[in-house]
Amino acid sequence: MSAQFPECSSLLNDVIEIQDIIGSMKREQQEQNVTIRPSYDGSQRMGRPRFHIPKEQLELLLELRFTDADIANMIGVSISVIKRRLREYGLGRQNQYTTISNEDLDTHVLRLTHGNPLLGQRNVQGLLSSEGLVVQRSRVAESLTRVDGAAVAMRWSRTIQRRSYSVPGPNALWHIDGNHKFIRWGMVIHGGIDGFSRLVVFLRMSTNNRAETVMDCFTEATANYGIPSRVRCDHGGENKDVALFMNSHHGESRGSCITGKSVHNQRIERFWRDLYTGCSFRFKDLFHKLEEEGVLDLNSGVHLWSLHYIFLPRINRSLDQFVQGWNNHRLSSERGKTPNQLFVQGVIQNRGSNQTGVSEILHEPDMTEYYGVDWDGPVPQEDGEVEVSGLPCPVSNERLLQLKRTIDPLGHSEDGFGVDLYRRTVDFCNEIVE
C-alpha cells in the first residue's frame, strides 16, 4: 500500500507502532500472568527487588510522546523508576520540538491547508506531527494567522458546544457508519471510530454501498486493532455482514451489534462534521463546479466512470492523510492526549481486566467456529439502505491497461486538483467509445 500511496506511509507507521506495543504486551502475557505492574527482576542482589521494564516498551511509548507521569501511571511504578530506567537505557526527550524557522513552518502549513481553510490548530498540529514535525501549538496558531488570518476568524465563528461521552475502554464500542454526501456522484465513505479514544479504525471511499465492502473495511480494522466488544451502527443493509459477525462472535443477547437511528450514533456523526470541514468539502464543491461548467454530465456513464477513475484514489489519499492528522491531534477534552495515545494508554491500563474489547487485543480469537460461514448469504434487507452501484467500465480490458499506463490518477495535476486528469480520461474513453 505504501508503494502505491507514498503519502500514507506515516499512517502505516502509526498503525505499526500501536501493533508493536500490543505485540509486546501479548508476549508478556504469554510469559506470565498479566498484572498492571511490571515483573520483578530476580537477578537483583540484596535489597528491594528491581522492576523489569523492557527498553523496547519505553522506546515505543516515548515515540507516542507520553510524559514520564503517563508512562509511570500506565505501567504501575513511580515516576522516579521511569526516570532511572530512561537514564540507564540512554533514552530521553532531547530536542522534543523540531527546529524549524517561521518561514519554513509557514510553507508546510500553507501546503497542508491549501484548498481547505477550515483546518484548525489541532488538526494542523496533528498533520505536522504525522510528518515528523513536532511544533508547539502556539507556533502553529501564529503560522495559521500569518498564512490566512481570515480563515482563522471564520473557524472561530463556527465553533460548537461539545457533548460529554463515556465508555469503559478501548474497543468497548466502535461506531461505524456510511457518509452519503457523495451519493449524487455514485460514491460513499465508510468509516469506523473507537468510541473510547476517538481513534479512526477505518475510513474509505467506495463506488458501492454493499455489505461485503463494509465488511472488508471492518475486517482490515480488526486485524490492526482487535475485535471490538460492541459495534453501534444504523439499520442499513450495508451493515448486515458486520452485525452477523459480531453476533456470531460475541453472542446476540449481550448487544454485540447495537442498531438504531443515525442520530443515536453521535460519536461518528460528530466525526463526519469534522471530516467534511477538514477534508471532503473541497471535493464536493469541486464536483458541483464541474457540473456548473458543463465539464461533468451526470447522465453520461463515461463522465461518471472517469470521475471515479481519477478522484476515488485522490480522495482516498486525502482521507488517509486526514486520518494521520486526526489520530495524532490533541484533544482538549482529554487533557491534550491524542487518539493514538488514548488507545494505547487504555489498553495498558485495562490489561488483566475482564473488558472484552481489551482482552480480544491481547488474545488471538479462536476463529474455528466461523469456517464455512457465508457472509454473503441471504439476509433480510433493512429499511434505510442506500443503494450505490459501481459503474461498468466503458472500455475493454486491453484499453483499460493502456489508460492506466497513460494516465496515473495520483500523478501530477497541472491545476493541483486533478481536473486536467479527469478531462484527459474523458477524452480517452470517448475516443474508444466513438
How far, CA to CA in Å, does 246 sit from each of 95, 253, 270? 45, 11, 24
Rounded Cα distance between 16 and 270, Å, is: 27
Query: What burial class does residue 23 get, using C-beta atoms within 10 Å of its C-beta: 0-12 exposed, 13-18 middle, 19+ buried?
Result: middle
Helix (H) or strand (E) segment spanning residue 397 = helix 397-406
**How is residue 51 written as a grid cell?**
522492576
Cell 488514548, located at residue: 342
CB 165 within 8 A of CB 266: yes
178 phi, psi to nearest 5 deg? -115, 135
| Burial track 318-343 (b if 16+ CB lie within 10 A, e otherwise) | bbbbbbbbbbbbbbeeeeebbbbbbb
Supply the pLDDT for residue 369.
45
| Burial track 110-126 (b if 16+ CB lie within 10 A, e otherwise) | eebbeebbbbbbbbbbb
Phi-psi region of 158 (alpha: psi -120 to 50; beta: other; left: phi over 0): alpha
**How is residue 28 written as a grid cell?**
508478556
Rounded Cα distance between 180 and 324, Å, is: 22
Supply the pLDDT for residue 403.
95
Strands 231-233 and 174-179: parallel
User: Of 268, 288, 309, nearest to 184 (Cα)?
Assistant: 288
Supply the pLDDT for residue 48.
64
What own/partner pairs with CB < 8 Å and gap ≥ 24 does 280-289 have? 280/179, 280/181, 280/182, 280/189, 280/315, 280/318, 280/319, 281/116, 281/118, 282/115, 282/116, 283/182, 283/311, 283/315, 283/318, 284/181, 284/182, 286/417, 286/419, 287/182, 287/184, 287/185, 287/311
Supply the pLDDT for residue 39.
58
How far, CA to CA in Å, does 190 sit from each of 210, 214, 264, 273? 11, 7, 17, 14
User: Of 269, 271, 266, 274, nearest to 155 (Cα)?
Assistant: 274
Q: Which amino acid is at 110?
A: L
Q: Which amino acid is at 413?
A: S
Helix (H) or strand (E) segment spanning residue 179 = strand 174-179
CB 85 within 8 A of CB 58: yes
Q: Which amino acid is at 93?
A: R
CB 190 within 8 A of CB 215: no
Rounded Cα distance between 434 and 431, Å, is: 5
Which sign, positive or negative, has the C-alpha torsion 125, 63, 334, 171?
positive
pLDDT average per 10 residues of sequence, the chain (434 residues) = 55 71 63 48 60 85 87 89 90 76 87 72 81 84 76 51 69 94 96 95 96 96 93 90 93 86 74 92 96 97 96 96 92 88 90 72 52 42 49 91 95 94 96 62
For the residues of 55-70, what is the DSSP string, one character each? HHHHHHHHHTT--HHH
Supply the pLDDT for residue 32.
45
**How is residue 146 written as a grid cell?**
500569518
